[in-house]
């Protein structure tokens, strides 16, 4: 078989490990050949390909980003997008596709599969918000980066008796905030799933100062105040209709200073959380996803996504895999609240 591989959506540490595993097993065990598509769905949409063989994947296991490039291109927003994809796949003699992406990229895969394109999905997002898999790769690396940042901010917060607010990624789900906040000993963790009361946040801040320690607030970019509106950077929408988030930490900085008189400073971690080398866990998970994705293609089991359940990699129907967002359940948030204040 000749198999096309693409990586779509926000990049994520571990993408290269998936590509490497797919190609190494696909070539070495099954004798398949590969073609890389550049920049997510833009590749098959425009016929933009890159050679992808064992030589091309040498040395990429620890490398962040993706050797194939990524984009948020939505072929269903383009004129005749799906038809163009089918034509380009036929012209390149591609028999099947492996799409590595999050809810948007895999949402396109679901629709293309329903229209007869043979595709297997691999879940990717640092947000860890796909319900069909216990974990997505990239999340562990992001949590480690955020935790290290919180550790560093603790020492400078103590020196200056300041409130330090750390904004982490997490558009609809607060997984990165929850895990890094718990690991880093945050005094308050604010997540999109639970609108917060700014006065309560201020009370936690004062309670922390009363113990002669300085407070660290970890806030997910998608968190909102009760009865407030989402703070957005510029209101621009991407091809999938998502607004660009940015600014909740600086809003909190102003509010906390205004209400308590305390010196408050915001740090936005942003894309630092997505860059650089993947953690050992993410390399392990991404490699296993790649091995199982090529098995599915080889067996002709299309319209599925590989998923981690416990330590087992299963296949789940793509349509199911992208249906529900996995958000932080109340009981997990309650565990974290024990340490607030
Ligand atoms: O979906 C992954 C993610 O990193 C989100 O956490 C974040 O909201 C978004 O991507 C940022 O997207 P971009 O890199 O396009 O600004």
Note the pLDDT of residue 271.
96
Where does the pLDDT of residue 60 fall: very low under 50, low under 70, confident under 90, or very high at 90 and above? very high
Binding pocket residue ranges, ligand 1, CB within 6 Å = 10, 102, 125-127, 169-171, 221, 244-245, 274
Res. 245: pLDDT tops 70: no
Give the C-alpha separation, 27 to 1, whole Å: 10
Atom of ligand 1 nearest to the CA of 102: 1
Q: Whose CA is nearest to atom 13 of ligand 1?
A: 10
- Count H helices and E strands in the chain, helices first: 11, 13
Cβ proximity of 264 and 162 under 8 Å: yes
pLDDT per residue as tens digits for the range 168-224: 999 999 999 999 999 999 999 999 999 999 999 999 999 999 999 999 999 999 999
Residues tagged active-site:
127
Note the pLDDT of residue 231.
46
pLDDT per residue as tens digits for the range 4-25: 999 999 999 999 999 999 999 9
Distance of CA 245 from the midpoint of ligand 1 (Å) = 8
Where does the pLDDT of residue 230 fall: very low under 50, low under 70, confident under 90, or very high at 90 and above? very low
Q: Which of 7, 8, 9, 10 to mutate to test the pocket of ligand 1 (most atoms within 8 A of CB)?
A: 10
Cβ proximity of 203 and 169 under 8 Å: no
pLDDT per residue as tens digits for the range 74-107: 999 999 999 999 999 999 999 999 999 998 999 9
Angle, to 10 degrees, between the axis of helix 280-298 and the axis of helix 15-28?
Answer: 40
Between the alpha carbon of residue 145 and those of residues 103, 132, 327, 330, the distances in Å are 23, 25, 21, 25
Res. 323: pLDDT tops 50: yes
Q: Which of 103, 104, 127 to mutate to test the pocket of ligand 1 (most atoms within 8 A of CB)?
A: 127
Cβ proximity of 41 and 6 under 8 Å: yes
pLDDT per residue as tens digits for the range 206-218: 999 999 999 999 9
Note the pLDDT of residue 239.
74
Q: Report H helices in the chain.
A: 15-28, 42-46, 81-91, 103-114, 139-160, 175-183, 198-210, 248-260, 280-298, 318-321, 330-337
Q: Whose CA is nearest to atom 3 of ligand 1?
A: 10
Note the pLDDT of residue 129.
93
Cβ proximity of 61 and 54 under 8 Å: no
CB atoms within 10 A of CB 71: 20
The distance between the two most distant Cα atoms of the chain, rounded to a whole number of Å, is 69
Res. 147: pLDDT tops 90: yes
Residue 198 contacts by C-beta under 8 Å, 6 or more apart in sequence? 225, 252, 255, 256, 259
Between the alpha carbon of residue 98 and those of residues 19, 174, 296, 304, the distances in Å are 9, 28, 10, 10
Q: Whose CA is nearest to atom 10 of ligand 1?
A: 10
Atom of ligand 1 nearest to the CA of 273: 4
Note the pLDDT of residue 236.
65
Note the pLDDT of residue 321.
86
Where does the pLDDT of residue 226 fall: very low under 50, low under 70, confident under 90, or very high at 90 and above? confident
Where does the pLDDT of residue 322 fall: very low under 50, low under 70, confident under 90, or very high at 90 and above? confident
Burial (CB < 10 A; 0-12, 13-18, 19+), residue 213, is middle
pTM of the model: 0.93
């Amino acid at each position: 078989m000749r198999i096309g591989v693409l990586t779509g959506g926000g990049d994520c540490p571990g993408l290269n490990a998936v590509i490497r595993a797919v190609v190494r097993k696909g070539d070495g065990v099954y004798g398949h050949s590969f073609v890389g598509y550049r920049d997510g769905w833009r590749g098959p949409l425009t016929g933009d390909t890159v050679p992808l063989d064992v030589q091309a994947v040498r040395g990429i296991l620890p490398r962040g980003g993706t050797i194939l490039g990524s984009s948020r291109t939505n072929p269903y927003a383009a004129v005749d997008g799906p038809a163009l994809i089918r034509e380009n796949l036929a012209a390149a003699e591609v028999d099947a596709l492996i799409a590595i992406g999050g809810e948007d990229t895999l949402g396109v895969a679901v629709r293309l599969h329903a229209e007869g394109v043979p595709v297997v999905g691999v879940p990717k997002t640092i947000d860890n918000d796909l319900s069909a898999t216990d974990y997505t790769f990239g999340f562990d690396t992001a949590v480690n980066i955020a935790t290290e940042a919180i550790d560093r901010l603790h020492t400078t917060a103590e020196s200056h008796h300041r409130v330090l607010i750390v904004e982490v990624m997490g558009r609809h789900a607060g997984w990165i905030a929850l895990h890094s906040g718990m690991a880093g000993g945050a005094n308050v963790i604010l997540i999109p799933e639970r609108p917060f009361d700014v006065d309560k946040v201020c009370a936690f801040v004062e309670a922390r100062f009363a113990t002669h320690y300085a407070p660290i607030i970890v806030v997910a970019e998608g968190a909102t105040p009760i009865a407030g509106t989402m703070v957005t950077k510029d209101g621009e929408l991407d091809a999938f209709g998502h607004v660009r988030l940015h600014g909740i930490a600086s809003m909190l900085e102003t509010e906390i200073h205004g209400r308590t008189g305390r010196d408050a400073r915001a740090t936005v971690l942003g894309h630092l959380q997505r860059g650089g080398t993947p953690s050992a866990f993410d390399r392990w998970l991404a490699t296993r996803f790649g091995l199982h994705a090529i098995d599915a293609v080889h067996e002709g089991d299309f319209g599925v996504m590989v998923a981690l359940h416990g330590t087992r990699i299963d296949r789940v129907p793509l349509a199911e895999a992208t249906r529900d967002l996995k958000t932080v359940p109340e009981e997990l948030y309650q565990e974290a609240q024990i340490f607030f204040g």
